[in-house]
Amino acid sequence: MTLLEKINSVFIRFPHRNAFCIEDIYYTYEELAVKVASIKQLLGKYPDEVRIGIQVRNDIESYASLIAIMFLGKTYIPINPNHPIDRIESIIQQSGLNIVLAKPGNQAYPGVMFLDYTTIYEGISTTFEIPEFDQNNNAYILFTSGSTGLPKGVQISFHNLISLYNASVALGYKMDETDRFLQMADLTFDLSVFSYIVPLCIGACICTVSDVGIKFTNVYKVLETQNVTFAVMVPSVLNHLRQFLPEITLPHIRHSLFCGEALYKDITTEWLRCLPNGSVENVYGPTEATVFCLANDSITSTSNVVTNNEILAIGKPMQNMDAILVDENLNEVPDGEKGEICLSGDQLTRGYLDEERNKVAFFNYNNKRFYRTGDVAYKNENGVFLYAGRIDHQVKIQGYRIELNEIEFHLRRIIGGAGVVALVTKGANDLNQIEVVFEDKNTNIEHIFEELKTKIPHYMMPVAAHIISPLPLNANGKTDRKALEKILSVSI
Ligand code: AMP
C-alpha cells in the first residue's frame, strides 16, 4: 500500500477515533477529514506547478494542511513564522514557493500568495480520491542549518516516507489504533514526521506539545495527562526532567524512542525506572535519511547494554538501509576501526535543492549512492554501530541541528571581520548551549546580538559572549577551539 492509501483507509475505518489532541482539544479522524477536504478544495483551483508552504503552528489546521497537500500528490514546505524573515525569504527563494497556507492576518512574504487554512467548505465530501503520481515525488522539503550561512533544503519523497513506516513496523514495535503518540517536535524538524506519519497510517491518536511555556516541561505534562503509549523524544528532554525522574511513573508508556542526540547510559537507567511497562529504543539518523534509519534493540534494563564512552550503541541499519564506515578517502575501514557513517537505501533523500552541496555530500560506492553523515562510529563484532562524535562543527542544542559555522558566518558579516568563534558548552542540567568569543576588545556585544537575532532562529542564539584577545592559535596557526572550550569551561 502507498502512504496515502494507508492514511485514506484510516479515515474510512476509524472516523470516530481521535486523530489529534492539541492544547487539550480532541479532533476525530472525521473532523480532520473535513479540514483536509476543505484545504484540498482551496488548493485545487491552482495550477499543478504551484509550490506550497505552510506556516506551521501547534494547531489542527497545520496538520490538516500537510495531509491535504500530500493528498494532492504535492510537496509541502513547513515554515516557522517565528523564524527571522531573512531565513524565511531564503527558504521561499530556494524552494520557489508561491503559495503559503496560514492563519489570516499574518506577516506577508514578498512574492507569495497567502491562503487561509481555516477555510471550511460546509457539506464537503470527505471521500478522498488518491491521485496517481510517481512515489519518488517529494512529500516534503525540510531546511536544516547550513555551514555556508544558507539553510539547506532536504527533499524527502513519498517512497522515502513509506519506507520509514515499513522499516519501523519491521522493527517489531507494538503499534495499533489504540496507541497515543507523543508529537513533541516543531513541524520544521524531521523528528515530527515519524510522530505524526506513523499514527496517521494506523489510526492512532497524536498528542502534540504546546509551545507556550517551557517546551520540555510541557512534554512531561502530555506524557502524563494524555496517557501516551509511544513517545519519540530527543535525549535533552531527560536532562531537563532529570531532577524529577525519581518521582515520575509512566505506566502507559510501552515504547520510548530516543533520537537526534547521543543517549547516555546513566540517564537511561534513571528513565527506565519511570517505565514499569515500557522500553527504551535508541535510534539514529539524519534528516537526509528520513528521521532515523539505524535502530538498537528495545531495552528494559541497562545492565547489559553496549556503550562507547557511556553512549548507548545506535544499533544496525533498518530494513532496506545500508550503513558503511569510511576513511577520509571514502574507503571502508576495517571492522572495529572508526570511520564516518555513510548511508544508502530506501530512506535516503534524492539530495539537497542546491546541486553544489550534493557534489560533496553524496558519492557512489559498490553501485549504490551513499550520503556522508559527518558522524563517526565503529562497529563491534556483532555488527552493532557505536557512536563516537562528529568530524565537523555540527552540534545539537536541545535536539536542533546547528552548524556552528552558520552562526560564525552571520557574526563575521555583522562585525565585518574574522575574529569570532562559536562554541558549544554545557549549561544548566548538562544541556548543550552556544557561546561566542570575539577577539576585538571594542566589540559591542549587545548590538551584535540584536542584529544576529534577525538572522538566525532563537534556538541558534548564543547564550553568552566573551572577549579573548588575541584568540589562541594551535600548531597549524588556526584558532585553537579546544583551548577556547577549556577556557570557557573553567570560567562558567
Ligand atoms: P537531524 O538531521 O536533525 O535529525 O540530525 C542528525 C544528526 O543527529 C546525526 O547526524 C547525528 O549527529 C545526530 N544523531 C541522531 N541520532 C543520534 C543518536 N541516536 N545518537 C547520537 N547522535 C544522533
Closest residue by Cα to atom 8, ligand 1, is: 260
Establish whether residue 262 lines the binding site of ligand 1, counting it when its CB lies within 6 angstroms of any ligand atom. yes
What value does the CA radius of gyration of the chain take, rounded to a whole number of Å? 23
Please tell me the residue having the least CA distance from ligand 1 atom 10.
286
Domain end call among 290, 312, 334: 312
Choose the final residue of a domain: 284, 312, 340.
312
**Of 396, 402, 404, which is best to mutate to test ligand 1, by the most ligand atoms within 8 angstroms of its C-beta?**
396
Tell me: do 25 and 152 sit in the same domain. Answer: yes
Cell of 253: 508508556
Is 185 part of any domain? yes
pLDDT at 106 over 90: no
The residue whose C-alpha atom lies closest to atom 20 belonging to ligand 1 is 262
With a CB cutoff of 8 Å and minimum separation 6, the contacts of 151 are 87, 90, 91, 94, 143, 144, 145
Domain assignment of residue 136, yes or no? yes
Compute, in angstroms, the gap from residue 242 CA to the centroid of ligand 1: 21
Residue 371 lies in a domain: no
- The cell numbers describing 413, all together, are 558579516
Average of pLDDT values for 406-432? 94
The finding on whether 278 has its CB within 6 A of some atom of ligand 1 is no
Residues 285 and 411 both lie in one domain? no
Do 110 and 251 lie in one domain? The reply is yes
Residue 474 buriedness (CB in 10 A; 0-12 / 13-18 / 19+): exposed
SS3 track for 344-390: EECCCCCEECCHHHHHHHEEEECCEEEEEEEEEEEECCCCCEEEEEE
Ligand 1 atom index nearest CA of 373: 10
State how many domains the chain has: 2
Q: What is the CATH number of the domain that holds 430?
A: 3.30.300.30
In this structure, are residues 92 and 112 in contact, taking their beta carbons and an 8 Å threshold?
yes
In this structure, the answer to whether residues 307 and 424 fall within a common structural domain is no
**How large a percentage of the chain has pLDDT more than 70?**
100
- The C-alpha atoms of residue 363 and residue 360 are separated, in whole angstroms, by 8
Give CA–CA dist 288/365, Å, rounded: 18
325 within a domain of the structure (yes/no): no
Nearest atom of ligand 1 to the alpha carbon of 282 = 19
For residue 191, pLDDT over 80 is answered with yes
- Summarised one tens digit per residue, pLDDT across range 342-375 is 999 999 999 999 999 999 999 999 999 999 999 9
> Grid coordinates in use for 331?
574507503
| Contact by Cβ (8 Å): 245, 276 | no
- In this structure, the answer to whether residues 170 and 72 fall within a common structural domain is yes
Q: State how far the Cα of 252 lies from the Cα of 231, in Å rounded to an integer.
A: 11
User: Mean of the pLDDT values across residues 167-196?
Assistant: 97
In a shared domain, residues 112 and 257: yes
477 pLDDT tier (thresholds 50, 70, 90): confident
Q: Report CA(447)–ligand 1 centroid distance (Å).
A: 33
Which position has the grid cell 524529577? 244
At residue 154, does pLDDT exceed 90? yes
Distance between Cα 399 and ligand 1 center (Å): 8
pLDDT tens-digit readout, 11-64 = 999 999 999 999 999 999 999 999 999 999 999 989 888 899 999 999 999 999
**213 vs 286 pLDDT, higher one:** 286
* Residues 158-172, mean pLDDT to the nearest whole number: 98
Domain extent, residue 146, equals 3-312
261 touches ligand 1 (CB under 6 Å): yes
pLDDT tier, 491 (very low <50, low <70, confident <90, very high otherwise) = low
Distance (Å) from CA 314 to ligand 1 centroid: 10
Answer yes or no: is the C-beta of 308 below 6 A from any ligand 1 atom.
no
Residue among 284, 290, 393 whose CB has most ligand 1 atoms within 8 A, to mutate: 284
| CB-CB neighbours of 170 under 10 Å | 12
Could you tell me if 326 and 309 are in contact, meaning their C-beta atoms sit under 8 angstroms apart? Answer: no
Atom of ligand 1 nearest to the CA of 190: 4
The Cα-based distances of 42 to 78, 87, 118, 398, 469 in angstroms read 18, 27, 10, 37, 58
Q: Would 377 be classed as within a structural domain? A: no
Report the pLDDT value the prediction gives residue 50, as an integer from 0 to 100. 87
Closest by CA position to 283, among listed 268, 265, 302, 297: 297
Same domain, 71 and 219: yes
Q: How many angstroms is it from 241 CA to the middle of ligand 1?
A: 21
Three-state SS string over the chain comes to CCHHHHHHHHHHHCCCCEEEEECCEEEEHHHHHHHHHHHHHHHHCCCCCCCEEEECCCCHHHHHHHHHHHHCCCCEEEECCCCCHHHHHHHHHHHCCCEEEECCCCCCCCCCEEEECCCCCCCCCCCCCCCCCCCCCEEEEEEECCCCCCCEEEEEEHHHHHHHHHHHHHCCCCCCCCCEEEECCCCCCCHHHHHHHHHHHHCCEEEECCCCCCHHHHHHHHHHHCCCCEEEECCHHHHHHHHHHHHCCCCCCCEEEECCCCCEHHHHHHHHCCCCCCEEEEEECCHHHCCCCEECCCECCCCCCCEECCEECCEEECCCEEEEEECCCCCECCCCCCEEEEEEECCCCCEECCHHHHHHHEEEECCEEEEEEEEEEEECCCCCEEEEEECCCEEEECCEEEEHHHHHHHHHHHHCCCCEEEEEEECHHHCEEEEEEECCCCCCHHHHHHHHHCCCCHHHCCCEEEECCCCCECCCCCECHHHHHHHHHHHC
Q: Indicate if the pLDDT at residue 492 is higher than 60.
A: no
Pocket test for ligand 1, best of 154, 261, 312, 371 (most atoms within 8 A of CB): 261
Mean pLDDT in residue range 315-328: 98
Can you give the CATH number for the domain in which 110 is found? Answer: 3.40.50.12780
Flag whether 372 is in a domain. Answer: no
Is there a domain that residue 432 lies in? yes
| Residue 364 counted as domain residue | no
Torsion of CA 19, 174, 278, 225, to 10 degrees: 10
Q: Residue 420 forms beta bridges with which residues?
A: 438
What are the CA-CA distances from residue 150 to residues 93, 186, 393, 467 (Å)?
11, 20, 16, 27
**Is the same domain home to 102 and 220?**
yes
283 Cα nearest atom in ligand 1:
19
Chain mean pLDDT for the chain: 95
Same domain, 405 and 302: no
Look up residue 9 and give its three cell numbers: 483507509
Statement to judge: residues 296 and 427 lie in one domain: no
Measured distance CA(452)–CA(322) in Å, rounded = 40
Nearest CA to 5 out of 154, 171, 165 is that of: 165
What's the whole-number mean pLDDT along residues 152-181?
97
Ligand 1 centroid distance, CA of 290 (Å) = 11
What residue's CA is closest to ligand 1, atom 6?
286
Last residue of a domain, one of 312, 342, 361: 312
CB of 373 closer than 6 A to ligand 1?
yes
On whether both 271 and 401 belong to a single domain, the answer is: no
Q: Say yes or no: CB of residue 186 within 6 Å of ligand 1.
A: no
Q: How far is the CA of 341 from the centre of ligand 1 (A)?
A: 11
